[in-house]
């Protein structure tokens, strides 16, 4: 294999393609994208019903359930049948597992999670999508803490939230956001903040604003900010995008970010 150039100049291999294809040792790519379809104040960019994402205070079993009985893998239904959970264990080590849905009946995860940052549907019935809203709820310390949610027909979580696993370093290459619409209005503004919570496994950790960009539905309704060079993120750091200072309620916002994840030597 020839030299790899980050700028992808002619005659050389493009770095982004190589790392996405898994040909750069100990490196991988993470894309996180989220949507909050009803921003009424300062809120995290994710699709769950509560304003802010709250991580469990300790690793816990999560109950997975749908609002529709057709999201069932045994007996098989017409909606989503199986899903995959991706997150971190008690030591912030990455883990994942498949799970067979049981409609409106809770199915407990087989592993304990201190973070769930992605769920996606794997197999489907005749409709080809999830017919209900699928949620993951931590069983402790509160049995009402929703940590991840798949909206109807989305087939995976939309959450601009991630935690860098233990033993890894993240390098953010870009983040972006767009105003999709403002209900009943042709104008709307919002700031989008990039927040880090380093040492997320420690009780005195807190959120720190790392960057902020503004959006205006009349002028610039989207942005794509690229880090040159990349922004380094230590292990066990929570990362999220958050809507701030919006000028109108019922704002529909999409946002996300991309990371190169590297195993720490």
Range of 142's domain? 62-150
Same-domain pairing of 72 and 44: no
**pLDDT for 13:** 62
Q: Which of 125, 150, 175 is the last residue of a domain?
A: 150
Is 39 in the same domain as 111? no
Domain closes at, from 150, 180, 207? 150
What are the strands, taking DSSP E only, across 40-163?
43-44, 62-66, 80-88, 94-100, 107-108, 115-124, 134-138, 145-150, 161-163
**CATH (domain of 42):** 2.60.120
Residues 46 and 69 grouped into a single domain: no
Same domain as 259, residue 165: yes
166 and 192, same domain (yes or no): yes
Low-confidence ranges of the chain (pLDDT < 50): 1-12
- Last residue in a domain, options 150, 169, 194: 150
pLDDT one-digit tens code per residue, 63-78: 999 999 999 999 999 9
Q: Per the structure, how many domains does the chain have?
A: 2
Answer yes or no: is 81 within a domain: yes
Buried residues in 232-245 as b, exposed as e (16+ CB within 10 A): ebebbbbbbbbbbe
Residue 44 domain-assigned (yes or no): yes
Query: Are both 34 and 67 inside the same structural domain?
Result: no
Give yes or no: residues 201 and 233 share one domain.
yes
Is 156 part of any domain? no
12 & 75 share domain: no
pLDDT at 1: 34
Are residues 199 and 141 part of one domain?
A: no
pTM attached to this predicted model: 0.91
Structural domain contains residue 34? yes
The pLDDT assigned to 49 comes to: 65
Alpha-carbon span 51 to 253, nearest angstrom: 13
Residue 15: per-residue pLDDT: 79
26 and 94 share one domain = no
Report yes or no on 57 lying in a domain. Answer: no
């Amino acid at each position: 294999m020839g030299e790899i150039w980050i700028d992808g100049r002619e005659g050389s291999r493009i770095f982004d393609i190589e790392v996405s294809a898994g040909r750069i040792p100990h490196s991988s790519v993470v894309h996180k994208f989220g949507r909050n379809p009803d921003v009424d104040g300062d809120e995290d960019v994710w699709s769950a019903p509560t304003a802010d994402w709250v991580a469990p205070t300790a690793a816990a079993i999560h109950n997975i359930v749908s609002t529709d009985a057709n999201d069932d893998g045994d007996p098989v239904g017409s909606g989503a049948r199986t899903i995959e959970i991706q997150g971190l264990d008690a030591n912030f080590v990455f883990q994942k597992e498949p799970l067979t849905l049981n409609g409106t009946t809770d199915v407990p995860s087989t592993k304990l999670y201190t973070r769930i940052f992605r769920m996606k549907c794997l197999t489907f019935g005749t409709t080809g999508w999830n017919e209900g809203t699928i949620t993951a709820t931590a069983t402790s310390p509160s049995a009402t803490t929703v940590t991840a949610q798949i909206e109807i027909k989305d087939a995976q979580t939309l959450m601009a939230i991630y935690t860098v696993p233990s033993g890894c370093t993240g390098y953010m290459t870009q983040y972006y956001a767009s105003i999709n619409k403002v209900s009943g209005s042709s104008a709307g503004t919002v700031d989008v903040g990039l927040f880090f919570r380093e040492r997320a496994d420690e009780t005195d950790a807190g959120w720190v604003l790392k960057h902020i960009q503004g959006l205006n539905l009349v002028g610039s309704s989207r942005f794509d900010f690229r880090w040159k060079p990349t922004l380094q993120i230590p292990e066990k750091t929570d990362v999220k995008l958050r809507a701030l200072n919006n000028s109108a309620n019922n704002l529909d916002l999409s946002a996300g970010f991309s990371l190169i994840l590297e195993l720490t030597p």
